[in-house]
């Protein structure tokens, strides 16, 4: 899959990855992995008409990609290296906030808002837990909007339908790219325990409420590249089985309860 040039995105500079930072030291492994993750979520379809004259193997591979389940959104649905300030402003963030590797907004595909954090398996569970603390600080921050109304800061940028009692949760997808020395399975188990207060819902009449929480979903880069978001490769903290991405970020028991009501 070819690397996507920043000029092709047509996005403001503040919404795009900075490939120069650290490139000389690490070969830009993290920005490259972010690019791979974006393509694995988007799953662009090749144009078969451009393969005339190409070897049969190339055409067969392209046909497989065309026949595979679609990805999520369009290139305009994605922004990279997005500041999530706990203090300061979006253009001049202060200390204590996070920076999302990818933010996906594809409401037409059932994903109004999804933060994506990529780990190359160099960080420990406590280090990742500290990042999730920063996500929570941003998600809980309130500011005055242009009309003078106080609302969550994230709502001044992204539009997400209201939940029944409060704001919908805004899930975080953690992608583990097995490059570094740490075992992601060990890190995931420790991380789930360290961040339980952030993702655990409150029991309510046969389902759980997650208002004000940060649902955390994990998977591996290789699995995402192979199966895409429609594959049952995603594990949400607190759930016993793998699901598709849409299943993992949703609350089917609550939806079933609402339908019965």
Dist. CA 156–CA 172, nearest whole Å: 19
Which of 25, 2, 28, 1 has its CA nearest to residue 17? 28
Rounded Cα gap, residues 57 and 59, in angstroms: 5
Please report, for residues 126, 173, 242, the alpha-carbon distance to residue 209 in angstroms, rounded to integers and kept in the order given: 26, 19, 20
The whole-model pTM stands at: 0.82
Question: What percent of the chain is predicted at pLDDT more than 70?
Answer: 82
**pLDDT 10s digits, 208-226:** 777 788 999 999 999 999 9
Domain ranges of the chain: 73-260
H or E stretch at 220: strand 216-220
- Predicted confidence at residue 210, as pLDDT, reads 76
Question: Measured between alpha carbons, how far is 38 from 28 in angstroms, rounded to an integer?
Answer: 16
What's the rounded Cα separation, in Å, for the pair 122 and 60?
37
Q: How confident is the model at residue 201 (pLDDT cuts 50, 70, 90)?
A: confident
Confidence grade of residue 17 (pLDDT, cut at 50, 70, 90): very low
Q: What is the pLDDT of residue 209?
A: 74
More confident position, 206 or 233: 233
Arithmetic mean of pLDDT over the chain: 83
Burial class (CB in 10 A: 0-12, 13-18, 19+), 150: exposed
pLDDT at 90: 87
Under 8 Å between Cβ of 208 and 252: no
Does pLDDT of 55 surpass 90? no
By three-state DSSP, how is residue 239 classified?
A: coil
- 258 confidence band (pLDDT: 50, 70, 90): low
Q: What is the pLDDT of residue 25?
A: 38
Is residue 133 exposed (0-12), middle (13-18) or buried (19+ Cβ within 10 Å)? middle
pLDDT, tens only, 119-146: 999 999 999 999 999 999 999 999 988 8
Residue 116 to residues 63, 89, 209, 217: CA-CA distances in angstroms? Answer: 29, 21, 22, 9
Q: How far apart are CA 175 and CA 160, in angstroms?
A: 23
How does pLDDT run across 108-119, given as a tens digit for each residue? 999 999 999 999
């Amino acid at each position: 899959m070819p690397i996507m040039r920043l000029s092709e995105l047509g996005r403001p500079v503040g919404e795009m990855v900075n490939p120069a930072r650290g490139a000389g030291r690490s070969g830009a492994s993290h920005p490259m992995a972010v690019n791979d993750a974006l393509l694995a979520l988007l799953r662009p379809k090749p144009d078969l008409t451009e393969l005339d004259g190409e070897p049969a193997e190339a055409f067969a591979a392209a046909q497989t990609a065309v026949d595979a389940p679609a990805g999520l959104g369009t290139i305009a649905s994605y922004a990279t290296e997005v500041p999530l300030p706990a203090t300061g402003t979006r253009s001049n963030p202060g200390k204590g906030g996070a920076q999302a590797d990818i933010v996906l907004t594809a409401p037409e595909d059932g994903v109004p808002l999804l933060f994506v954090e990529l780990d190359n398996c160099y960080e420990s569970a406590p280090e990742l837990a500290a990042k999730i603390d920063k996500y929570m600080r941003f998600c809980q921050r309130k500011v005055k909007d242009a009309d003078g109304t106080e609302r969550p800061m994230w709502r001044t940028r992204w539009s997400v339908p209201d939940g029944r009692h409060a704001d919908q949760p805004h899930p975080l997808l953690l992608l583990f790219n097995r490059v570094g020395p740490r075992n992601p399975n060990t890190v995931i188990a420790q991380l789930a325990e360290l961040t339980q207060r952030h993702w655990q819902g409150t029991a309510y009449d046969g389902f759980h409420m997650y208002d004000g929480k940060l649902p955390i979903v994990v998977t591996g880069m290789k699995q995402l590249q192979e199966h895409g978001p429609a594959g049952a490769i995603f594990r949400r903290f607190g759930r016993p089985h793998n699901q598709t991405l849409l299943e993992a970020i949703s609350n089917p028991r609550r939806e079933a309860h609402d339908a019965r009501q």
